[in-house]
A and B are shown apart, each in its own frame.
Chain A
Amino acid sequence: MARYFTRRLAQMVLLFLVFITLTWFLLYALPGDIVAQKFAGNPNLPPEARQIAIARLGLDKPILNQFTDYIGRFFTGDLGYSFNEYPRKVTDIIRERLPRTIVLFMSALITYYWAGFIAGKYLAWRRGKRGEMAITVGGVSLYTVFYPWFALIMIWLFAAKLGWLPINKFLNPSKWRQAPFPANEVVLRLFWTVAISATVLFLIQLAASKLRDINSQRLVRWGGTLLAIGAFFAYWWGVPSGEAMRFYAGDIALHLVLPVGVLTAVNFAGIMLLTRSSMLETMSEDFILTARAKGLPEKMVRDRHAARTALLPVTTSLVLAVATVIDGGIITETVFSWPGMGQLLVGSVLSEDIPVAVASFSFIGILALFGHFAVDMLYGVLDPRIRVSGSN
């Protein structure tokens, strides 16, 4: 296992170097005179000022030197300065954008994985019965729906037509004029409260599934759920620091509803189908037959024997989904004008803000690398067959 681990780690570093090299050269090869474009508003730019601007952006050195400099600085955590917002550091911009992306996609991921797993479980169990066809067709059409179009239709329906929800952006500026906190502080606070209560909720469900008695299981499940949700509300209504922020957190939460809802509608079908086929494969295994032959109740066979084994590929896809959050976020953030990493990437590429583009791109790469690494390690832990072959 240790050898496997180190080998994978070395591979990862190598892959990342290839990735960032390709990205850097691809982006710095963008056609067009960057400096001329940045000063397009000023036609009378003297040549000296132009030289100074080029030197300031670090574009006067030979391209190979620029690259080696960049890589050297990259590993010390210095990503350079943005071209568009010149004196601003790239790390600063990313630090501002990242929490917003995390909040949006963690909420969406939790919602749609939970919904998709439950739906897939029932679908596999009720195979061939009425409703399967309807759920499958509905799920697949949502899964393959043309996503930007669907999101815009939802905006039209819920925001423009019915007026229930805000149209876009992640807060309403007119409510924030007097705000005593920076928006990101509220975003992070919101994230932590949601994350903690979700974790508690998950642990309670896990504990409940370990109980043998159906009645005490039900008690723990419902009691725990109420407790976790109660604690969440108690923080925002009871604790002074939470209460002061509640108005602003509520504004952000209201802006979250539509994107999270759309992401859930589109993505849950994928998880549902994955769970279904994984359940179907598990259900044809011998140990399910054994469990039934022992006379265990159907619900127990479904939840304790089949669903748990079927969880393996779903877990894998969850880890990978976390890793590709920003990539998937590009469309969502563009359509909903959500100022996160995805929007940053598209915006910086289209406006040729190259340091920002390279940085956000390599950020995506690092996330994806760690995701794949985590999946491999997780498989090693979860599936004994892989663990054995890995150590040999």
Chain B
Amino acid sequence: MTDLIDRPQLPGDPPEKALSQAVKSDALWKIRWALFRRSFRGNWKLFRRNRIGIVGLLIIVFWGLMAIMPTIFFATGFWTTSVYDPVTGLERNPPTRTVTLVNEVTDPDSQIDFKGLILDQRLPKDLQLGETFERPLQPAPPDRRHWLGTDPLGRDIMSQLMHGARAAFGLGILAATVTVVIATLVGSIAAYFGGALDAFFMRLADLLIMIPALAVLIVMGAIFKFQLWHLALVIGLLSGFGGVAIVLKSQALAVKVKPFIDAAHVAGGSSAHIIFNHVIPNVVPLSFLYMMFTVTGAIQSEATLSFLGILNVSTSWGLMINLANTQGYLLQGDTYWWLVFPAGLAVTLLAAAFFLVGRAMDEVINPRLRRR
């Protein structure tokens, strides 16, 4: 978008001292840096007007902090790995509840029958009818040691949630980066050269748009035992060569007919020089927008696949819901809320946050949507 650079100064913009100084000092990178700062400031002003976008940004920052937390906790010794590790941690002294052995259970909270006693390996086996014992409670409700309680295997939910945030960020950012790099390159090259190259990439994009993404991910995930970064790569490739490439190509086409491209030609710029220095910088703002939407899609795909039990991952929000579901706690949402709600809300919130930021950026980049 060229208007990011030659846009007139907004009323609130600070005076252009930096820019004029940079122009005087004649170093190209300084001019570029000053231009970048100016356009960033102007766009940030436009972005800030959109309250919804700010909400999204705050949610992203919140989860970003959550993702950093476990490193700090483990490093300071506030958490120990043996208890708080998201996969192998175990709370050895869970809260207990007094339970009586009876023939017929009328109150499941304080009674247990012989069948229940046999099924649970952790319970003592040499008991008489009517005897009481202290039953360890797992999943345990939140307390001071475990802020969000523990899961059926005695692992800390808060720690899993934080590590899940880390996984979600890693996956989302990797998938989005792959998408944007591929789509920007493919779009610019296809638009610049046209002809057979263009036809090939666009037919490829048609094919990729057509295939049902979720079904393909399920099949491939089941066959190849996907890990997190495999999934991120495949999502990135699918959307990078697919729909996003088409959008960025149409943007690059609009850039290609601008006079400064002709000027660069006349000045003797090579194709590679023109693509990398003139076409791509003008396509990049739009590609950031699709980065946001790709992150939303990637987080949701990952959660869905882990929920179906297809991915080969150790911690993720989808896996937490999968565990709650397969162990039958999901239909007791009111008693075991800490197993059901944190993970589901986390996926929803983070996906929504990236989507909201994307929408707010859309209003910055696409002048037609702006409020007048």
Stretch at the interface among B212-220, B232-240, B277-285: B212-220
Of all chain A residues, the one with the shortest Cβ separation from B354 is A144
Q: Are A365 and B219 in contact (CB under 8 A)?
A: no
Q: Are A153 and B344 in contact (CB under 8 A)?
A: yes
Q: Are A15 and B206 in contact (CB under 8 A)?
A: yes
Q: Are B218 and A330 in contact (CB under 8 A)?
A: yes
Closest CB in chain A relative to B57 CB, distance in Å: 14
A350 partner, pick from B222, B296, B352, beta carbons under 8 A? B222
Interface size band for B: 35 or more
Contacts of B333 in A (CB 8 A): 153, 156-157, 161
Measured in the bound complex, the distance between the Cα atoms of B308 and A331 in whole Å is: 9
Interface residue A133 (Cβ < 8 Å from any Cβ of B) = yes
Measured in the bound complex, the distance between the Cα atoms of B362 and A281 in whole Å is: 13
Measured in the bound complex, the distance between the Cα atoms of B51 and A277 in whole Å is: 17
Stretch at the interface among A49-57, A79-87, A134-142, A182-190: A134-142
Q: Are A144 and B355 in contact (CB under 8 A)?
A: yes
Contacts of B334 in A (CB 8 A): 161
B210 partner, pick from A30, A328, A357, A372, beta carbons under 8 A? A372
Of all chain A residues, the one with the shortest Cβ separation from B334 is A161
Measured in the bound complex, the distance between the Cα atoms of B211 and A364 in whole Å is: 8
Contacts of A153 in B (CB 8 A): 330, 333, 340, 344
Stretch at the interface among B38-46, B247-255, B299-307: B299-307
Interface residue B209 (Cβ < 8 Å from any Cβ of A) = yes
A346 partner, pick from B210, B218, B348, B372, beta carbons under 8 A? B218
Measured in the bound complex, the distance between the Cα atoms of B247 and A268 in whole Å is: 24
Interface residue B197 (Cβ < 8 Å from any Cβ of A) = no
Q: Interface readout for A136-158 with B: 1 if CB under 8 Å, 0 if not?
A: 11001101111111101101110
* A274-324 residues at the B interface, CB under 8 angstroms: 277, 280-281, 284, 324
Q: Are A149 and B307 in contact (CB under 8 A)?
A: yes
Of all chain B residues, the one with the shortest Cβ separation from A161 is B334
Contacts of A361 in B (CB 8 A): 215, 219
Q: Are A15 and B51 in contact (CB under 8 A)?
A: no
Q: Interface readout for A35-74 with B: 1 if CB under 8 Å, 0 if not?
A: 0000000000000000000000000000000000000000
Closest CB in chain B relative to A2 CB, distance in Å: 21
A144 partner, pick from B218, B223, B351, beta carbons under 8 A? B351
Interface residue A388 (Cβ < 8 Å from any Cβ of B) = no
Measured in the bound complex, the distance between the Cα atoms of B215 and A345 in whole Å is: 8
Interface residue A11 (Cβ < 8 Å from any Cβ of B) = yes
Q: Are A330 and B214 in contact (CB under 8 A)?
A: yes
Of A150, A157, A281, A350, most buried by chain B (CB within 10 Å of CB) is: A350
Q: Are A280 and B369 in contact (CB under 8 A)?
A: yes
B212 partner, pick from A137, A273, A324, A331, beta carbons under 8 A? A324
Contacts of A273 in B (CB 8 A): 359
* A331-359 residues at the B interface, CB under 8 angstroms: 331, 334, 345-346, 349-350, 357
Measured in the bound complex, the distance between the Cα atoms of B55 and A331 in whole Å is: 29
A148-B371 contact in complex given A26-B223, A368-B212, C-beta closer than 8 Å: no
Q: Are B214 and A327 in contact (CB under 8 A)?
A: yes
Q: Are A19 and B211 in contact (CB under 8 A)?
A: yes
Interface residue B189 (Cβ < 8 Å from any Cβ of A) = no
Contacts of A327 in B (CB 8 A): 212-215
Contacts of A368 in B (CB 8 A): 210-212
Q: Are B347 and A149 in contact (CB under 8 A)?
A: yes
Closest CB in chain B relative to A340 CB, distance in Å: 13
Closest CB in chain B relative to A282 CB, distance in Å: 10
Closest CB in chain B relative to A27 CB, distance in Å: 7
Q: Interface readout for B337-357 with A: 1 if CB under 8 Å, 0 if not?
A: 000100110011001100110
Interface residue A382 (Cβ < 8 Å from any Cβ of B) = no
Of all chain A residues, the one with the shortest Cβ separation from B368 is A281
Q: Are A143 and B355 in contact (CB under 8 A)?
A: yes
Measured in the bound complex, the distance between the Cα atoms of B371 and A127 in whole Å is: 9
Q: Are A144 and B352 in contact (CB under 8 A)?
A: yes
Q: Are B223 and A133 in contact (CB under 8 A)?
A: no
Interface residue B137 (Cβ < 8 Å from any Cβ of A) = no
Of all chain A residues, the one with the shortest Cβ separation from B55 is A137
Interface residue B203 (Cβ < 8 Å from any Cβ of A) = yes
Q: Are B352 and A140 in contact (CB under 8 A)?
A: yes
Q: Are A149 and B212 in contact (CB under 8 A)?
A: no
Interface residue A208 (Cβ < 8 Å from any Cβ of B) = no
Interface residue A239 (Cβ < 8 Å from any Cβ of B) = no
Q: Are B223 and A148 in contact (CB under 8 A)?
A: no
Q: Are A136 and B218 in contact (CB under 8 A)?
A: no
Q: Interface readout for B287-321 with A: 1 if CB under 8 Å, 0 if not?
A: 00000000010001001100110000000011001
Interface residue A214 (Cβ < 8 Å from any Cβ of B) = no
Closest CB in chain B relative to A9 CB, distance in Å: 14
Closest CB in chain B relative to A11 CB, distance in Å: 7
Interface residue B331 (Cβ < 8 Å from any Cβ of A) = yes
Interface residue A196 (Cβ < 8 Å from any Cβ of B) = no
Interface residue B138 (Cβ < 8 Å from any Cβ of A) = no
Measured in the bound complex, the distance between the Cα atoms of B5 and A100 in whole Å is: 55
Could you show 20 A-B contacts with beta carbons less than 8 Å apart?
A11-B206, A15-B207, A18-B207, A128-B371, A140-B356, A143-B352, A144-B296, A144-B300, A144-B351, A145-B348, A146-B303, A146-B317, A148-B321, A156-B332, A281-B369, A327-B213, A327-B215, A349-B219, A361-B219, A365-B210
